[in-house]
Structure 1
């Protein structure tokens, strides 16, 4: 999700002073410590790379190298405290990307957060955990031409990747989650461990209203539609990331090397003729520093993420030939889909002023109170900071006859998949450019379009592997996306007018939301204030026809290279995406083991 950096900056400086980053565990920091060859070289120690590294290194006869551009996650308490996820964008654990000017956002460029640390974006996100609807996976199977991606086939990988654990406060959550919908994997998932005053209002309103606002007991049960408790990658009040769940626990494996603070400058083709064989990785720790090459005896696993994966491919001569030629990069494989099809969820903060004084607005205004709340977490892992800022969430289909769907095929994956999302926050959550008011109490309803039809690109700006690429998500670039966002604003207003809200909170639209009295004004409001949820996918998409990788995640047109991260998603999930990344990684590990006859 986008940064709250304006509000939290002063607090964040103090937090980093209290909890400095430290490096522990068996990691490599110097290129001189490398072997010249490993069986597998995994590029990226993020959400997917951490999981693949764990599963491949289970076999003691297999050597694995993980190359991570960022630092170690271990010892950085800022990554551990769930609530502090909102403070991490713009810091040393963020790539600090910025989009190109977005025409759908009235020409604005916005920050684009990606994790620059072991665990990747699972170390810096706001933790929401969804596996995706049954429809989504069945659609993937159809698009890939492989029933191995259907829900019936991938369910075992979902259950292998995560498990339900009690919330931080240990309370009975019977009826608020379905334990049978969960598995026994290493990623810990829980419902909120610090109930907020608005939680019961949201959930009971859903039960009273029904219809489009129906209650959903468990979003990981296969049907994403409805309103319910947020499920997040949190266990015992701490973040559960790809690094903490998969990678840190196996640092002591003698067949696993984890190299940090190192970039992949390019992949090298070792074939002298015929099909390119990409089995050599070139590494560097600074733009002008020495280059070191490492060979993958079995294959390279490219898990550099939705931005990093297409960037590395293009630097290696794999991509749109016209773009590569313009930069003087020799073309090894002409594939215009590399870096194309970028999809993400636009997000808008809708503010309501309320009469209740029980919101946590003052925690953001008072540095002493903020520090006390951190102290409470440090003492016994309790309090507000055991959760991300929002405890409740809803996913919705557009109403029948919605103008957003006029003349187009429904972009959602099916009846169990959503078009839009609302997240309910018990305070003024400064997402975007609007600062928190100095006084007053607020509720924020974040609205998002989760089945967007807009598609963008990731392209090289330079041949320097240390230069940031050009990121154009094309937010709100289609008629569907802007009309769906307008409907989401209507849904926020309608839901906040429910009887239970009016008893005590009596919410009143605030700021630009209050002025957006027509659909045209709501569209203008969305274009002027929307940011993003940081759920990019699709820049190396899997497809039966065209695309970048085949159903086994092998790069088409070359040998020796497999891609395993959210860049391979054929379409964007209509939910938060980290859970789907773990499923992909778990299945990919089995595909790799099968391909190389590994147990």
Structure 2
């Protein structure tokens, strides 16, 4: 979905809406000291969890440096349905672009990352899950740390999640399993509060086709994710819930917490120490609004610097600081302080493929999304009482599936275990294709598929010593036979879904290259239309402490260093088989415990 669909109608009305968030500093001149116990780089999913948990001790001082802007009063960020308009090509996005992707017919595409308080939790589509227990158990096995196993990690659900049952009178008795969830944590999570035309048909299909069973709780909490169910989203009372509106907001009155926005970290500076591990406790940053490294500012951490800049920002900062592969750093004349060839490598992401069907009448949302007047009226309704489709996420139902055995037998299974899915199915009651703009007429139904256990591996690498130059981002989409085969199989699966009796009087046909019938046709469809769900991970991945692989140890400290830790999605050795904001929150909760135990 393109931002222009929404921007024309809501920008003018933004001044009429206000939401009070945490007080933040906007300029380095406002800092009253340059020394803190902890310096956290990045105010995203993980960074603000750490900021909250570490400042629970009133004697601990924390500085959070965020390159982006505030999320206060930004209607596209706050209103759930407008989430797709937060990125790309906006002030709230890093506005990255990938390198040309051979697996996608050499196309490039935008690579959205949130550049504001809350990070990508303020810019994503809010789907909230935790992955399978097998995902976590594999991380424990790879890292050699049983603390990452699900049996240990599930304790953080109570601390993290605040499930909120919708108060609009709908019956949600079979849409989630209350006993699995927490109602007392920090981040609000809820179910859909507005019905789309397709909802009843999606659920009916789960009763008609055994291939697509109903899953009463799609979160993954002590329950596999296979099947189709109701999306759980980080939203409450018609508004997005992010790490900013939850973890930061509940800590904003603590005098030991300082948050500085517009602060672009340019490098980490080593402290001169005796031979051995390099110590990094100094952080250099510039004013992000100037796009210049001068003037620069320095702050010092007495205990630790924690990188929570994400799977793109974290390896970029490490490389700029001389931590990385000589092949990446030496051509730029950056001294190699820590030789680690894995920094920025092992990039994994979830490829996203829109598959669009034409449908009867005007029951889809397309006619509204084409009409600025109707969107304006819907936003006005949302502003008045937080009702209507703007108060809801863009999708209500999602599902997960595995390849059938006859196909899977051709490969080594890359999933973490036998109940971990290979692909996701997402249902949208309108045209949702980032590659092809919505036609000027017609009504549409989109079934998106996403590969959640990719075997392709890409990279993030700086291309200059200027931190304001975007790194080269190469997700290397659909580079392996398993990945393209799974995408083709996912298309076949949703085509079988779409011919269930529930759709007989609704779907009228396929659109564009989806109409192909051979595997070759469907492969070309996938290569022409696939982009990203923007879930980059694993570029500073975790490995056992005695392993020469990986970038961080099981306690998330950077190998070969002291005083430096990474806490974000980049440390996962394998991308979670779900929407990953939940796993990042969980990771950060345990990381806070690890950090407290260290000091």
TM-score by length of 1: 0.95
Partner of 1:564: 567
> 1:9 Cα shift?
4.6
Aligned partners of 2:564, 2:273: CA distance in 1, in Å? 17
Aligned with 2:286 (options 284, 287, 290): 284
Change (3 A) 1:400 1:253: same
Aligned partners of 2:224, 2:595: CA distance in 1, in Å? 30
Partner of 1:250: 251
TM-score by length of 2: 0.95
SS in structure 2 opposite 1:313?
helix
Partner of 2:525: 525
Change (3 A) 1:151 1:388: same
Alignment check: 8 A CA contact 1:193 1:386 kept: yes
Alignment check: 8 A CA contact 1:168 1:192 kept: no
Per-residue Cα deviation, 1:310-350 (whole angstroms, up to 9, x for no partner): 00000000000121111000111010110000000111111
Change (3 A) 1:125 1:15: farther
Alignment check: 8 A CA contact 2:427 2:447 kept: yes
Alignment check: 8 A CA contact 1:166 1:236 kept: no
Aligned with 2:414 (options 390, 411, 414): 411
Partner of 1:462: 464
Partner of 1:121: 120
Aligned with 2:325 (options 306, 320, 326): 320
> 1:239 Cα shift?
0.4
Alignment check: 8 A CA contact 1:130 1:577 kept: yes
- 1:33 aligned to 2:26? no
> 1:400 Cα shift?
1.1
Partner of 2:52: 54
Partner of 2:550: 547
Aligned partners of 1:65, 1:288: CA distance in 2, in Å? 20
Aligned partners of 1:573, 1:217: CA distance in 2, in Å? 21
Aligned partners of 2:163, 2:22: CA distance in 1, in Å? 27
> 1:22 Cα shift?
8.9
Aligned with 1:501 (options 492, 500, 503): 503
Question: RMSD between aligned alpha carbons?
Answer: 1.5
Alignment check: 8 A CA contact 1:42 1:302 kept: yes
Partner of 2:445: 443
Aligned partners of 1:268, 1:103: CA distance in 2, in Å? 37
Give the 5 Å matches for 1:330-349.
Answer: 330-349=335-354
Alignment check: 8 A CA contact 1:538 1:570 kept: yes
Partner of 1:138: 137
Partner of 1:422: 425
Change (3 A) 1:4 1:17: farther
Change (3 A) 1:579 1:507: farther
Partner of 1:92: 91
Alignment check: 8 A CA contact 1:168 1:194 kept: no
Partner of 2:148: 149
Aligned partners of 2:559, 2:374: CA distance in 1, in Å? 55
Change (3 A) 1:302 1:526: same
> 1:397 Cα shift?
0.3
Change (3 A) 1:22 1:98: farther
> 1:77 Cα shift?
2.4
Alignment check: 8 A CA contact 2:9 2:373 kept: no
Aligned partners of 2:485, 2:422: CA distance in 1, in Å? 11
Aligned with 1:580 (options 576, 583, 587): 583
Per-residue Cα deviation, 1:394-415 (whole angstroms, up to 9, x for no partner): 100001111x651x32111112
Give the 5 Å matches for 1:210-225.
Answer: 210=210, 212-220=211-219, 221=221, 222-225=223-226
Unaligned runs of 5+ in 2: none
Unaligned runs of 5+ in 1: none
- 1:395 aligned to 2:393? no
Partner of 1:45: 43
